[in-house]
Chains A and B, each alone.
Chain A
Amino acid sequence: MEYVDNNRISHRQLYRQMVLAFLAPVLLCLPGEGRILGKTGIAGTAAAAVFLILYSFFLRRLIPWYSDPVKMLGPVAGRLTGLFFLSYVILAAAYILALTGELVPAVLVTGIPGTVILFFAALVCSFGTRKGMQRRGRMAEVSGGVLLGGVFLMMVLCAGQVRISYLREMTETAVFSGDAFFKSVYGVICGFSGIALLPFILRDVEKRSTVGKPVVMGILTLTGLLAAILLLLPAVLGWNRLQHERYPVLPLLAGADLPGNVLARFDVLWMGFLLYSLLFAAGSLFHYGHQILVRSHMGTGKLWFPTAVFAAAVIKVQGKGIAAVFGQYLSYVFVPGLILIQGSMLFYGKKKRQKKAAGCVFLVLSLLLSGCAAIEPEKRMYPLALGVNTSEAGFSMIYGMPDLPQATGQEKEEKEKDASVLSIAGKDFSEIRERYDRSQEKYLDMSHIQVILMGDQLLESGRWTEFLAFLDKDPFVGENVYVFRTEDPSAVLSWDSGGTSIGEYLTGLLENRLPDQQKKGTTLRQVYHQWYKDGTLPSLPVIVLEKEEIQVYLE
């Protein structure tokens, strides 16, 4: 029968495996602070794409060498080659897991230790990776299309946030230099270094004579996406900000709105897509690790291989983990070593060719112990408006809380009313946060802030930069929040807005108009942009409280 006679995968499965395995690592790790950005980045990506396509043709010639390196190169050289690739697979898998362990607690689920995240990710990724190429092919085929579609959709939705003026900044200020260009090309090639493992998979692809087409398509899709992201990032976040963001792809959708307002924010979904791709990449590396071990006659590594990956992801030497050294390993060890080994293969190769219970308890315990970070919705405080000003102590933060029973119409009996305005002062924002944690029963959830009111004193003192630096570190504050200035934020937040919160009131005041009458407020993203650009603030709408009535003066 067609499906039982071999262990081959189709071209479509190969293409989707490539896309799934490279998508998140490439999008997350290549663009960003001190890496590939701007015009040189786009040009470098295009040049690297050409190189990678040519390299893929060369790789097809090496399939026999990868099939059985021991047979082709002899027991010592064959095993050394196996070890070279194995070290790459272990370190790359460790790097991806470490990245997952770093990003997930920072932007998705706060409170769970990165090591726990890393452990579960390693466990799941190693599941079934020794069971044949077809399984991975099917996984990729069934989920690759959905993921690719999702990423495209997200990018289309993100396009709504594009500002031509931001893009112009890049074209005007970014300098195109030969040195930066070659660094970009080499950076992209290093990012796609996993492609060197392609001969391991090509052996198991049907219709090998035409296998170049899906490989080329895969490279073009991935480099095309990377180039599109390199274009979108400055157009959405601004060129100057981009140079200070370590993973700029993450906040890309923080300010995007979904048509119909079905969801307030959907950057969680974007991160979900990237996370799935990261897991698939790690799973693929586990799979290849097993393949390398078997083909180099070094056993199966059933237990020690995942353990080694986990250990490499966790261990830190002098405070430096795999994330800090992997880039250097790629640049100075793996890629040069690869050129050497593959070159010698080509030179050498003309003549010779072709080739459970205890664990469950532990898992359940880990699951339960790691989950204490979750906080129920009724045990959170949701400030909808945030006021900030300088005070005698240093700063004061004023949180405008909603009146829950009034806001939701679900009045429960014998319930104490929440305070609608909470003011906390401290010498800096960390101290204010500590004071909040010491004095308040509920967890402060800043993810639903709708407006930020900056006091005149704060703006005049120039200490607003400290406030912005504090906000920038909090990934949960949306970047579509409106920012205002006012003389006394506390008075505005205490103003009786007639049943709705001041956050909703001010948002409504700007948005609830016919399209041609809509008022243009200033969003947090615009504030960040201007701040990163020249260290100043854009003009902010002013709120004036006159005779117990709010007036908003736009520019």
Chain B
Amino acid sequence: MEKTKISSNLKENEVYIRSRCENCADILIRPMRLGDSRKVDCLMVYIEVAVSNMMLDDSAIGKMINHFWEISPEQIQDFVKNNSLGIADVRKFDNMEDAFAALLAGNALFFIDGFDKAMKISSKGYPNMGVSGAETEKVLRGSREGFSDTVKTNSALVRKRLRDTRMKVVETSAGVRSNTMIQILYIEDLVHEELLEEVKERLEEFEIDGILDSGMLEQLTEETWYSPFPQYQTTERPDRAAQELLNGKIVVICDNTPYALILPSSFNGFMESSEDWYHHFEMASFLRILRYLALIMSVLLPGLYLAVIRFHTQILPTNLLLSFAEAREGVPFSSVTELVFLELSFELIREAGVRIPGSLGNAIGIVGGLIVGQAAVSANLVSPIVVMIVALTALGGMVIPNEEFASAFRLLKYMFLFLGGYFGIFGIVLGIYLTVAHLAGLLSFGMPYLLPFVKKGPVKEVGDGILRLPFRKRQFRPLYARQEQKRRLRRRK
């Protein structure tokens, strides 16, 4: 597409800008005359809230304009050309499209008569929430910082942790109307070049009107779109992002999203928490085992319960079985209906808890869990054991550190529930076979999803399986990193 050149005639530029910004009340176009004799025509274009008050001395724009009032017209041109004011983030554009992209990114544009370029001057940018705590990935040990809604802030938070110019930040944009800024972060000598190329290709593969969140980007670029398993890992913790960069992975940050996407992702990666790296290896390993057990519980418990009480009663100790039978006495529904009913009720409570603000959400949890559960048992709608099964299943799901990954198992739970309920252990084995077959075929950017449980050669001392090795034993990077840079730890002589 041919680009519109910026004219050296300010009037022409003003006409073009006004025509493009017609009925855009938030974009302010401010002509002004500067110079000691007020003879130089200038034009400032900016988004109202995104740019600080021009008269304020403490803003770059304010300082610049104040200074331009005191110097001659010739000096103004000279100042602009050479950025003599030393404004940190300043850039010149020779066409309107690039200039408008900068304007819409929250910067001010400065035009001057007789100069055929527009000058972008950064200011405070769009309103944002600033750096806040990580809400969904809470840890007992480790940084409290979380990503914000602004892509630049987010990359700065990662840079703060990796102060090395080998960490590269490549900017691109997606969405023909939203022009959402996307940053690709990687460590130059660790990342596989093919992986980097593939990421870039996939980002450029589609054309969409707008990208409003990284979730949209994720769904558009993932390979197996029908899989419930996330193929990107998300994190809102800069320390986690930095750690994954050190593992040779790529981090993609999308504007307006307080989450970074990490790729390639793996099953085991979703089961890791960033504090696994900070705890002692015994505790970290114990917690990981606990999470795996919780995962099995969250997906299999309802199905196994149904399989056992409906088909394989011989497996239970007699007293336990008799308790189950007695507890179900008088319940009008079949055990499958009963369990589905209670599981869905829990899903409702959970959804309500998320949507309802703050403390009310907690109240909903208590009301739902205690009162509804208790009332349902008293009214003989469900048996107490099923309440326990649903509660344990829910607890298991909550232990999984990544919410999207846990959601995949939330869905699978229903498959196992029906298979166990209608086919017993045979159904459960069918379900496990299907799940393993699906996971075995799943790739995340060419890497098997089941890494490191499936690996080609002998991979020693990486220590990122279910058990975490002591730090001093973890001498090598995972397979994601280039093999010539595989050593991450060595003893100084």
Contact = CB atoms under 8 A, between A and B. Distances in A.
Interface of A: 1-4, 10, 13, 104, 108-110, 112, 117, 120-121, 124-125, 127-128, 131-132, 134-139, 141-143, 206, 261-266, 268-269, 271-272, 275-276, 279-280, 283, 367-368, 370-371, 374-378, 380, 382, 384, 402, 404-405, 407-408, 410, 412, 415, 445, 447-448, 450, 476, 478, 503-504
A141 B454 contact: yes
A410 B326 CA distance: 7
Residue from A374, A402, A410 with most neighbouring chain B CB atoms (10 Å): A374
Listed from nearest, the 8 A-B pairs whose CB atoms lie closest are A371-B422, A447-B314, A138-B440, A374-B310, A4-B446, A139-B440, A109-B424, A378-B328
A139 B319 CA distance: 38
A376 B334 contact: yes
Given A3-B456, A371-B423, A402-B322, 17 more contacts: A4-B194, A108-B311, A108-B312, A117-B423, A117-B426, A124-B434, A125-B433, A131-B441, A263-B315, A264-B314, A264-B318, A264-B321, A378-B331, A384-B318, A404-B322, A447-B312, A447-B314
12 contacts: A3-B443, A10-B455, A109-B423, A124-B434, A271-B425, A370-B423, A402-B322, A410-B323, A412-B326, A412-B330, A447-B314, A476-B314
A448 B306 CA distance: 18
A377 B456 contact: no
B314 A108 contact: no
A132 B455 CA distance: 16
B424 A382 contact: no
B92 interface: no
Contacts of A104: 426
Interface of B: 192, 194-195, 306, 309-319, 321-331, 334-336, 418-419, 421-430, 432-434, 436-441, 443, 446-448, 450, 453-457, 479, 483
A10 B194 CA distance: 22
Contacts of A263: 315-317
Prevailing SS type, chain B contact patch: helix
A523 to B, nearest CB: 16
Contacts of B483: 2
A263 B304 CA distance: 13
A374 B422 contact: yes
A380 B437 CA distance: 36
B315 A265 contact: yes
Contacts of B447: 1, 3
B440 A135 contact: yes
Contacts of A408: 319, 322-323, 326-327
Nearest to A507: B318
Nearest to A111: B311
A385 to B, nearest CB: 11
A276 B326 contact: no
A1 B433 contact: no
A374 B453 contact: no
B324 A377 contact: yes
Contacts of B456: 2-3, 10, 206
A276 B446 CA distance: 28
Contacts of A380: 313, 325
A117 B419 CA distance: 12
A377 B437 contact: no
A442 to B, nearest CB: 10
B446 A265 contact: no
A382 B315 contact: no
Contacts of B310: 374-377
Contact of A261 (B317, B323, B479): B317
B429 to A, nearest CB: 5
Contacts of B443: 3
A142 B422 contact: no
Contacts of B428: 272
A439 to B, nearest CB: 20
Contacts of A504: 318
Contacts of B424: 108-109, 374
B423 A112 contact: yes
A415 B314 CA distance: 26
